[in-house]
Amino acid sequence: MAATEQPGTEPSQADGAALARGWLENSPFVSQLGIRIETMEPGRAVLSMPFSDALPTLGDVVHGGAISSLIDTGAAAAAWSGAEVPERPRAATIGITIDFLAPARGQGVTADARVVRRGGSGLCFCQVDATTDDGTHVAMALVTYQL
* Sites of contact with its own copies (CB under 8 A): 1-2, 23, 26-30, 32-33, 53-59, 61-66, 68-70, 72-73, 92-103, 116-117, 119, 121-123, 125, 127, 137, 140-142, 144, 146
Collapse the DSSP code of 112 into the 3-class scheme (helix H, G, I; strand E, B; otherwise coil) and give the result. strand
Q: Supply the minimum distance, in Å, between the C-beta of residue 20 and its own copies.
A: 11
Nearer to its own copies, 12 or 26 (CB): 26
Q: Supply the minimum distance, in Å, between the C-beta of residue 84 and its own copies.
A: 17
* Non-local CB neighbours of 38 within 8 Å, separated by 6+ positions: 46, 47, 48, 110
Nearer to its own copies, 10 or 142 (CB): 142
Report how far residue 139's alpha carbon sits from residue 147's, in angstroms, rounded to the nearest whole number: 24
Axis-axis angle for helices 64-80, 14-26 (nearest 10): 150
Q: Supply the minimum distance, in Å, between the C-beta of residue 107 and its own copies.
A: 15
- Closest residue by Cα to residue 109 from 72, 147, 146: 72
